[in-house]
């Protein structure tokens, strides 16, 4: 498969229904590139490497590119202070890194925030992803299905509450006690869900270190960063899904405090590091036995009852949602498409995992493949485990080059058509050579 593109740092720009998209000031683009170049040069010591490299700013609707340097095939045309062109429609994009025309680009969806800190944070986050292989991080993130279950969410929220109290503490010694309690909630979560330490670690290495890098290069001072992190943690419980989004919050806070102890702490991290064990050693978490009774008692210092009540109510509603989704994608007539050479982009804050053997529902997603381009703007799509199949609801209109359904559309390539099987489901089928 060609690759997976996921949106990151979504808090920087979230489109509002009915709102006008801010105008893009093309004259400002060279200035933005210069700001990023200066930020990376001033922060070379973070990784002992200047991570500045190819950057591609992309208009979402038109797919127009504004780049800081030419591509190797000279597809992009030079303008005053930038290079421009149009990204082919078969390439899905979001805030991420992208291999295209001989280079690895940090890609960012326009418009950029008018706030300089947020712009630098976002673009340098993506530059980390472009540079991560050269930094020794050959990592793929992983879904964390347990963080959609009630207890998984409860103990993550307790960890984040403790991290928030650490940020608000007036003394470092008190802050570190809250950090140790945060790690106790984390350890208990890992005990409850077998394998979760490994799956969480993969995402934290991938997105947590990128987030830390962006925040350190943003230009915020210590106190501005502290308030920013608190605001993020305050808002995080409103995030629809924790499955792929939690790592943007956790490592940033642990990294904030680790920097106070050792400016070079991140240089001790490799792609093989277990971050939980690293944090436990750094903050001197003793080897106390993590008993359920102790954890329950400790949770009362961190809004434990309120959080559990909220998550119990959410769980009851969420069970109904899961049953509806199973009925829609596994029982009712549907379109099933085998993935061949897939490229996709999605938002990491809203995936809804079903059972491990059923897959994950993405409320919005874009997939390009040999058969065409699927764009889901509402109603969702189910991706099977291992990304072998994608399933959408039954088609409403079927044409030679376009298929539409409730909340989705396929731009169909030549050589493919839909076939209905004996169960009443549609299958994407490749035409045989006549």
Residue-wise pLDDT tens digits, 150-189: 999 999 999 999 999 999 999 999 999 999 999 999 999 9
What digits encode the pLDDT tens for the residues 37-75?
Answer: 999 999 999 999 999 999 999 998 899 999 999 999 999
Q: Which two tokens stand for residue 225?
A: 């960063």
Q: Is the pLDDT of residue 289 over 90?
A: no
Q: What's the CA gap between 381 and 376, in Å, rounded?
A: 7
Q: How many CA atoms lie within 13 A of 433 on its CB side?
A: 0
Q: Which two tokens stand for residue 202?
A: 């993969």
Using alpha carbons, select from 280, 309, 133, 137 the residue that is nearest to residue 206.
137
What digits encode the pLDDT tens for the residues 221-240?
Answer: 999 999 999 999 999 999 99
Query: Which residues pair with residue 360 across a beta bridge?
Result: 353, 383
- Concatenated DSSP letters for 66-113? EESS--TT--SEE-SSSEEEE--TTS---SEEEEETTEEEEEEEESPP
Q: What's the CA gap between 194 and 134, in Å, rounded?
A: 32
Q: Is the pLDDT of residue 17 over 50?
A: no
Q: What's the CA gap between 40 and 216, in Å, rounded?
A: 10
Cβ contact 91:368 at 8 Å: yes
Q: Is 392 exposed, middle or buried (0-12, 13-18, 19+ CB in 10 A)?
A: buried
């Amino acid at each position: 498969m060609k690759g997976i593109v996921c949106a990151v740092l979504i808090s920087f720009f979230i489109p509002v229904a009915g709102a006008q998209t801010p105008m893009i000031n093309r004259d400002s683009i060279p200035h933005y590139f210069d700001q990023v170049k200066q930020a990376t040069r001033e922060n070379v010591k973070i990784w002992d490497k200047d991570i500045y490299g190819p950057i591609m700013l992309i208009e979402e609707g038109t797919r127009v590119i504004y780049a800081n340097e030419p591509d190797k095939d000279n597809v992009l045309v030079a303008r005053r202070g930038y290079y421009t062109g149009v990204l082919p429609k078969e390439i899905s994009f979001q805030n991420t890194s992208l291999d295209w025309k001989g280079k690895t680009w940090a890609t960012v969806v326009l418009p950029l925030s008018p706030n300089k800190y947020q712009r630098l944070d976002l673009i340098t986050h993506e530059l980390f992803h472009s540079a991560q292989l050269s930094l020794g991080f050959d990592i793929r993130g992983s879904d964390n299905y347990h963080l959609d279950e009630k207890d998984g969410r409860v103990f993550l929220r307790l960890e984040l509450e403790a991290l928030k109290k650490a940020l608000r503490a007036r003394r470092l010694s008190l802050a570190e006690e809250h950090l140790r309690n945060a790690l106790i909630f984390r350890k208990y979560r890992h005990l409850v869900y077998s394998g979760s330490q490994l799956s969480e670690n993969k995402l934290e290495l991938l997105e947590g270190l990128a987030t830390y890098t962006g925040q350190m290069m943003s230009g915020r001072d210590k106190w501005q960063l502290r308030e920013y992190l608190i605001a993020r943690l305050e808002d995080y419980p409103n995030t629809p899904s924790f499955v792929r989004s939690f790592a943007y919050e956790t490592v940033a806070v642990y990294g904030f405090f680790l920097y106070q102890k050792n400016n070079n702490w991140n240089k001790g991290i490799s792609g093989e590091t277990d971050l939980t064990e690293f944090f436990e050693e750094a903050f001197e978490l003793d080897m106390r036995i993590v008993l359920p009774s102790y954890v329950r008692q400790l949770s009362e210092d961190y809004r434990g009852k309120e959080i559990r009540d909220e998550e119990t109510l959410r769980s009851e509603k969420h069970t109904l949602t899961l049953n509806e989704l199973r009925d829609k994608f596994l029982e009712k007539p549907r379109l099933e498409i085998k993935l061949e050479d897939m490229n996709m982009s999605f938002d990491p804050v809203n995936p809804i995992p079903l059972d491990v053997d059923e897959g994950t529902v993405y409320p919005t997603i874009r997939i390009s493949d040999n058969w065409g381009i699927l764009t889901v703007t509402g109603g969702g799509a189910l991706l099977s485990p291992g990304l072998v199949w994608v399933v959408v609801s039954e088609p409403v209109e079927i044409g030679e080059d376009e298929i539409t359904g409730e909340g989705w559309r396929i731009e169909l390539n030549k050589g493919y058509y839909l076939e209905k099987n004996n169960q009443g489901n549609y299958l994407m089928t490749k035409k045989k050579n006549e």
